[in-house]
Structure 1
Amino acid sequence: MKKNAILGVCLLTLIMSVASPGAQAKTPDDQLIIGMNMNNLLTLDPAAMTGNEVVGIVVNLYDSLVELDPKQLNHVIPALAQTWDVSPDGKTLTFHLRNDVKFHSGNPLTAEDVVWSMRRILHLNLAQASVWKSYGFTKKNVDELVTAPDKYTVKIVLPKENDPQLVIYSLGALGNLGVLDSKTVQSHVQDNDWGNRWLSTNEAGSGPFILDTWQAKDVLRMKANPDYWRGEPKVNRVVLRHFQESQTLRLMIEKGDLDVASNMAVSDINALRKQPDLTVEAVQRGTMYYVAMNMKDPQFANPKVREAIRYLIDYKGINKALMPGYGVLHQRPIKAGMPSTLPDPGYQLDIDKAKALLAEAGYPDGFETTIRSLSDQPFLNIAIAVQSTLMQAGIKAKIITGTGNQIYGAMRERKFDLLVGRGGSGMEPHPHSSLRALVYNPDNSDAARLTNFQGWRTSFYDKQLNEMIDQALLERDPQKQIADYQAIQVRYDKLIPALLPLSQMVDSVVIRNEVKDYQSHPSATTFLREVYKTPEGEKP
């Protein structure tokens, strides 16, 4: 029987079993089955990845030098690096590696692999290079600054003054320095691409799981690494399945066909809270839902127009009706809960004020534009809500939906008008993490290609603001640093930015009670190596 025919029979059998009244499915005890929306899962290459979905996969295929404790983010946990030192002047980080780690290929992991992986990020200059470029690394200096003095020692010399603790947080939070098997990747290089094409659908890690197969927008399977240096994972296989419809996810986890489900609609999440055999786990992340404007467009380059848009968003209405389970009201670029985060400025829908601003800008009758949005929730509902309030001021906005690559791809090319999105890092427990992703833009030229900086994507640039961000990072007096970050937020607000935060992300995950030790990570780096399942009714 052909592969497609076999797949069809399996799907039909699944549908029939789900539809059968009273049928209670059960996933295998040695497998973890996760349901999610994979529309934004575009590549498995750690250097090119964007979005929380892929981060959660990459950290289970690869190991990093250090990790952040999910229960206390500022607690750094040893991983490939058993210990590390910071020089007295704060300019040199030295990591001392374990000597018993092997890649999935069987090749030993050494300092040269760590160095090559770091160099690759800068030379490729894809999404994850932006973080390291903000620290001053470039493809011209990385070969000199990141070195391996011996087989199990890595030395990183910071190219400019930085907060070394933030650099360590970045190594643990981002998952982007997943250490690659340099020999394996180099054997798959095509046209000097550093193995990027091959790694888009393959992996070369040393992590607790080994990639079995990935079929885009269908299924991704990982099997346990029996030789993992921390010990073999507690489940033999992890299967991630793509579901675009929230109601399908709800039905599947209710029936027991899934162990974990994410990316669900608020109504379905709330309904599942009442199920005694399910637990809803909500974790607040540092990323923001936002409405972004492209300042390369003459309309949005006008501060009066941007200010009008700021008053054409029903922040309270959107958060009350659309965001429970997805996010909480937040209008600042620095995530909530930080000592430096100012209270929200309190912007709210004001049609009359917006109309007056548009008239001052030369658009008394409004104008036509477009809003780009993922076709998933809550993005699409936010876009529809914004479209409705824009219309009340005469702005006719056509909604363009698509996949992550289509929507964020246009943003990375700076070819969009308005966009409803989510971003902002906030993964490291430091204010700079949010500012770097949402505000900082050290070079606004098209050639800079700072594609992982939302500031660059929107063409929002202010030299003084960049300098204030640089200075705050280096401030050693804690109280002065807090004041510096608050001053940054005040200036950002006065500049009428091109990116308007409206809600801070809450990630709601539904978990069956037989799944144990599943700990959602605030930085999206959810580790699955300790997860296990107890048979139904059995106490752990």
Structure 2
Amino acid sequence: MNKFLSTVAALALGVSILGTHSLPAQAETPPNQLVVAISMQNILTLDPAGITGRDAVLVLSSVYDSLLVADPADRTKFIPRLAESWEVAPDGNSITFKLREGVNFASGNPFTAEDVAYSFKRLMTLNLAQASFLKTRGFNADNADASFQVIDDYTFKLNLPQPDDPNFVLMTISQAGPGSIIDSAQVKENEQNGDWGAAWLKTNSAGSGAYKLNQWRSNENVLLDRNGEYWGEEPAMRRILIRHLPESQSQRLQLERGDIDVAYALLAADLQALEKMEGVEVETTPGAGFYYLAVSMKDERFANPKVREALRYLIDYEGLNKSIMPFYGIPHQRPLSSGVKGLLPDPGYKLDVERAKKLLAEAGYPDGMEVTLRALSEPPFINIATAMQATLAQAGIKANLITGSGDQIYGAMRERKFELIIGRGGGGQHLHPDSNLRAIAYNPDNSDEASLSNYQAWRTSFFDEKLNSMIIDALLEKNHEQQAKKYEEIQVYYEDMIPAIQPFSEVVDTAAYRTDVKGLVVNPWITRFETVTKDR
């Protein structure tokens, strides 16, 4: 058996035994297969309506198409996908899309405007995590029929249910999740008791992207096969194997050996070593959102602003960003992403234990308190939590760490059943202040029944009616200078409130990959594996 066939056989064997443990040693991966290592702990479903976090987006961006996508070179611009063109009405209240003809889903079913309308109606009716992106724009299950209008087989009209910036609506539906278009006929065939195919889509796919889902085994692997019905240019990679490999050292060793092509969950020390290695490229790009310490304001202790302010001064901003965050984040303390309109300089918070102790005493906790601190059991979260545990202890706060998978950690936050958490989020997928503010500060309904789980403000039970109004007012301001000023005022007001979420670092995305891998977009929010080739 020649070297190439041996490699293919070894890879196939690795897949057959679930692909999570070390694959047999290989000289290199097959030239037409891409092997990607990530941590899959926060991938809880592959239903586009229910996914949470960038790891699931990394998978589904290649399986499902949207009407349009962000241009990787300039994320404020769009590239047509299932829509060939679109036109915003003069009054700004609707957007009409001319759809691409001759497109089939992976099932072979033809794509029409009915699939677009069905996908959006399904999203709003199920009201899962990704629905929040459109709910912030006023869409809901009750107005879905009026909002998502089929004009003919290849013309779809999106009627905005409230005054909005149409360009921002386009940004929203360009994203995998809220913008993913599914095969309505196939999903209807797999419905169970009127669930809109939710049970089936958790582990199956019904898209028109360059790849289709072959298998997903939770916390083990995802296998994507080239979609023979794909409407675009055939991708170079026949198969994408995404492996759950959360240990940084294992990723590094397998990347060095050539057992994997791309590594997405590496620690700073391993990335620094790989930077010096011939045959491996390390790339860091601006990401989306922030790393933060969050509290639940359902807890009467954290409802006290003095306690929240004390926590603000128990974060070692400088130490964390120097020792733990390289390749993961850069120092940042504002709720707006770098480069967006109206961003103010950081307020300059520093670790100040004595000030924190004084604030705790004023709040009625002179001897500190005992709390639980949740964090994913993967880098950098577990490292941040351990460091945070030490600084909290200096002020008498005993933090008992709870670590685990995304379901265990973020699941508790989504259910509003937590005390403290090290999180990552806060919007920023789109370069607009509203993207951040809707995620991290806006909360239109603080009731448990609202289930606005994609809003970090709702998760933390943080609610301020004036702030909500300020955010809406700033979005609709048409004068650019006045709009920037309004976003500055929001940041000052938000800071003075001592919110439930305190950012300490802005996310960057870093990946290491073999140098013969070409065309990879490192940013997981916009990665599409159809662009990848191998120079071998």
TM-score, with length taken from structure 2: 0.95
Q: Quick check: 2:134–2:172 contact (8 Å CA) kept in 1? A: no
Structure 1 residue 422 corresponds to structure 2 residue 424: yes
Q: Give the whole-Å Cα distance in 1 for the aligned partners of 2:72 and 2:177.
A: 14
Q: What residue number does 2:98 align with?
A: 96
2:533 is matched with 532
Moved more, 287-296 or 422-431: 422-431
TM-superposed deviation, 1:191 = 2.1
The answer on whether the counterparts of 1:458 and 1:498 sit within 8 Å (CA) in structure 2 is yes
Given candidates 348, 351, 366, the residue that maps to 2:350 is: 348
Equivalent of 1:143 in 132, 142, 145: 145
Q: Which amino acid aligns with 1:421?
A: G
| Whole-Å separation in 2 of the counterparts to 1:9 and 1:174 | 29
Q: CA deviation at 1:7?
A: 6.4
Distance 1:385 1:238, change over 3 A: same
Q: Distance in 2 between matches of 1:530 and 1:363?
A: 56
State the secondary structure of the residue aligned to 2:351.
coil
How far apart, CA to CA, are the structure 2 residues paired with 1:9 and 1:124?
34
Q: 2:238 aligns with which of 230, 236, 239?
A: 236
Q: How does 1:77-476 map to 2 (within 5 A)?
A: 77-476=79-478
Runs of 4+ in 1 over 2 A off after TM superposition: 6-12, 14-18, 173-176
How big is the alpha-carbon RMSD for the aligned residues of Structure 1 and Structure 2? 1.5
Q: Which residue of 2 aligns with 1:481?
A: 483
Q: Give the SS at the match of 1:173.
A: coil
Aligned equivalents of 1:132, 1:194: Cα separation in 2: 18
Instruction: Note the C-alpha offset of 1:525.
Output: 2.1
Q: In the alignment, is the contact (CA less than 8 A) between 1:83 and 1:96 conserved in 2?
A: yes
2:61 is paired with a residue whose SS is helix
Helix, strand or coil at the partner of 2:472: helix
**CA 1:182–1:323 in 2, change beyond 3 Å: closer, same or farther?**
same
Structure 2 counterpart of 1:26: 28
SS of residue paired to 2:297: coil
Q: How far apart are 1:174 and its partner, in Å?
A: 4.2
* TM-score when normalising by structure 1: 0.95
- AA matched with 1:532: T
Partner letter of residue 358 of structure 1? Answer: L
Give the secondary-structure state (helix, strand or coil) at the position aligned to 1:420. strand
Taking structure 1 as reference, are residues 159 and 463 closer, same or farther at Cα in structure 2, changes over 3 Å only? same
Shift, 1:175, TM fit: 4.0
1:63 corresponding residue in structure 2: 65
Aligned residue type for 2:387? A
Residue 308 of structure 1 aligns to a residue whose secondary structure is: helix
Deviation digits for residues 496-536 of structure 1, max 9, x if unmatched? Answer: 00000111111110110111111223x6120111211111x
Sequence identity, in percent?
Answer: 49
Distance 1:253 1:297 in 2: 45
Cα deviation for residue 226 of structure 1 reads 2.5
SS in 1 for 2:487: helix
What secondary structure does 1:60 align onto? coil
Cα deviation code 1:57-115 (max 9, x no counterpart): 11100110001011110111111111101111101111110111100110000000000
Q: SS at the partner of 1:228?
A: coil
Match for residue 48 of structure 2 among 41, 46, 49: 46
1:225, distance to aligned residue in structure 2 (A): 1.5
Deviation of residue 228 (structure 1)? 1.4
Report the 3-state secondary structure (helix = DSSP H, G, I; strand = E; otherwise coil) of the residue aligned with 1:184. helix
Deviations 1:214-273 (A, max 9, x none): 111111111111231112111111111111211000000000011111111111011000
Contact kept? 1:294, 1:457, Cα under 8 Å: yes
Residue 3 of structure 1: aligned partner: none
Contact 2:297-2:500 at 8 Å conserved across structures: yes
Contact 1:174 1:427 in 2 (8 A): no
SS of 1:386's equivalent?
helix
The match for 1:21 is none
Q: Measure, in 2, the Cα distance between the counterparts of 1:72 and 1:213.
A: 33
- Deviation of 1:11 (Å): 8.9
- Opposite residue 246 of structure 1, the aligned amino acid is S
* Pairwise CA distance, 1:339: 3.1
Question: C-alpha distance in 2, partners of 1:455/1:241?
Answer: 32
Amino acid at match of 2:460: T
Equivalent residues, number = 523
Amino acid corresponding to residue 164 of structure 1 in structure 2:
P
Q: Using the alignment, how far apart are the partners of 2:196 and 2:125 within structure 1?
A: 8
Deviation at 1:15, TM superposition (A): 5.3
